[in-house]
Amino acid sequence: MLQKIEQIMQEIADLKATSAEEAENLRIKYLSKKGVLNALMADFRNVAADQKKEVGMKLNELKQAATNKINELKDAAQSQEQAGDDLDLTRTPYPIRLGTRHPLTIVKNEIVDIFSRLGFVLAEGPEVEDDWHVYSSMNFADDHPARDMQDTFFVESHPDIILRSHTSSVQARVMETQKPPIRVICPGRVYRNEAISARAHCFFHQVEGLYIDKNVSFTDLKQVLLLFAQEMFGPDTQIRLRPSYFPFTEPSAEMDISCHLCGGKGCSFCKHTGWVEILGCGMVDPAVLEANGIDSKEYTGYAFGMGIERITNLKYQVKDLRMFSENDKRFLDEFTAAN
Ligand code: PHE
C-alpha cells in the first residue's frame, strides 16, 4: 500500500494539462468519487492496524498534494486561455490620453471666431492653384516680382499651376461664385520658395478677410480691424495704419498694434518702437472687382490678410518658426485650449 501511494505521488507530481478541460479530466480521474484516491481510501480498510497511522498520514498527504497540483494546473490553464482571448495588440492603450490642439489651430480658430461674430462667413480655396486666381485676377502685372521663381512654387510640367503664395486667391474664388454683399473670412496654408530658417519657412498660414457691398469705406475697415485687435490682444490695444502697396488694394496699408509686451513703451520685442506689424489691408482695387465680374461703380470693398504664425508669435513668443512644423511633443503639449 505504501508503495502504491508513493507511486501515485510521483504520478501526480508529473501531471501536465494544456487546457482547463484537461485539468478537469485529471480532477475527475484522481479526486472524484470514483477516482483513484477514493479507491485507495477503500483499500485503507484492509491495512493492518499497526500500519494504519502511517498509511493514513501518507494518504492525507497524497490527497493534499493531488488537490493542490490539479488546482494549480487548472488556474494556469485558465489564465493562459484568458490571456490568449484578451490580448489584442491593435487595441488603443488605456487610459486614452487627450491630445492638444496645434498652436496655429488654436490661434486660427480664435481669429475666425472673432470675425464670425462680426458676420463674416468661412470660405476656403485650393492650395494648388492657377496663375489667374493667385496673380492675374488680383491685378498683378505680368512682370510682377512675386510671380518670380524665387517666390512661387511652380509645377514644372504645368507652368500655369502653382502652389498659392497667399490666401488672396480665395478672394477671386469667392467673387466668381458669389454676388455681393460678400463677407468672408478665409484661413489657409500658403507656400513660398524661401530657405527655411527661424524667421522664414517654405509654407505658412494666413487668414484673409474680404467685405464687398455698397458704400463700404476705409472707416469700416479700420473699425473692424480695431475691434479685432482688441479682441485678440486685449481692450487697451491700439492700432496704427501705415501707407503701403499691394497690387489688389488701393489705397493699401499695413497695420501695427501697440506692443502688448511693453504696452507701447518700447522693448526689445518691438525693437523699441512701441509698435508691431500684424497685417496688410486696403480697399479692394476697382480693377480687381472688374476682373472678377463685380461692377466697381456699384460696389466697393475692403480686404485684409494676416499671417497666423505672426499672430501666434505675438501671443506666445515662439522664437523659431520651425517649431510649428517639427512635431516636438514637448512644444505641442504646452498648448491647451477649450476650443
Ligand atoms: N496677400 C497679402 C500678403 O500675402 C496680404 C493682404 C491681403 C494685403 C489682403 C492686403 C489685402 O502679404
29 and 158 assigned to the same domain: no
The reply to whether ligand 1 has any atom less than 6 angstroms from the CB of 37 is: no
Cis preceding-peptide flag for 235 (omega within 30 of 0):
no
Q: pLDDT tens digits, residue range 215-255?
A: 999 999 999 999 999 999 999 999 999 999 999 999 999 99
Whether the CB of 165 sits within 6 Å of ligand 1 = no
Ligand 1 geometric centre to CA of 304 (Å): 6
What pLDDT, on the 0 to 100 scale, is given for residue 281?
A: 98
Q: Both 285 and 210 in a single domain?
A: yes
Parallel/antiparallel/unpaired status of strands 158-163 and 128-130: antiparallel
Strands of 126-174 (E only): list them. 128-130, 153-155, 158-163
48 with 163, same domain: the answer is no
Say if ligand 1 is within 6 A of residue 112 CB: no
| 8 & 150 share domain | no
The model's confidence at residue 337, banded by pLDDT at 50, 70 and 90, is low
Residues 149/193, Cβ–Cβ less than 8 Å: yes
Q: 239 by DSSP, 3-state: which?
A: strand
**312 and 267 belong to one structural domain:** yes
Pairing of strands 203-213, 275-284: unpaired
Instruction: Answer whether residue 98 is part of any domain.
Output: no
- Claim to verify: residue 76 and residue 162 sit in the same structural domain: no
Residue 148 pLDDT: 77
Q: Are residues 77 and 161 in the same domain?
A: no
Residues 80, 204, single domain; the answer is no
Same domain? For 77 and 115 the reply is no
> Are 276 and 160 found together in one domain?
yes
The total number of structural domains that make up the chain: 2
Note the pLDDT of residue 338.
Answer: 47
Same domain, 182 and 266: yes
Angle at 298 between CA 296 and CA 299, to 5 degrees: 65
- Predicted pLDDT of residue 85: 66
Q: Which three cell numbers stand for residue 58?
A: 501518507
* 160 inside domain: yes
Q: Give the pLDDT confidence score for residue 176 in this predicted structure.
A: 94
- Nearest-CA residue for atom 8 of ligand 1: 280
pTM: 0.73
User: 50-64, 118-132, 269-283: which range is least confident on average?
Assistant: 50-64
Residue found under cell 494544456? 18
Over residues 132-168, the pLDDT tens digits come to 999 999 999 988 888 876 689 998 888 899 999 999 9
Q: Report if residue 291 sits inside a domain.
A: yes
Burial grade of 235 (CB within 10 A; 0-12, 13-18, 19 or more):
exposed
Contact 121, 184 (CB under 8 A): yes
Residue 247 sits in a domain whose CATH number is 3.30.930.10
- Domain of 61? 2-85
Q: Which residues of 98-137 are buried (b: 16+ CB within 10 A; e: fewer)?
A: eeebbbbbbbbebbbebbeeeebeebebeeebbbebbbbb
State whether 76 and 114 are in the same domain: no
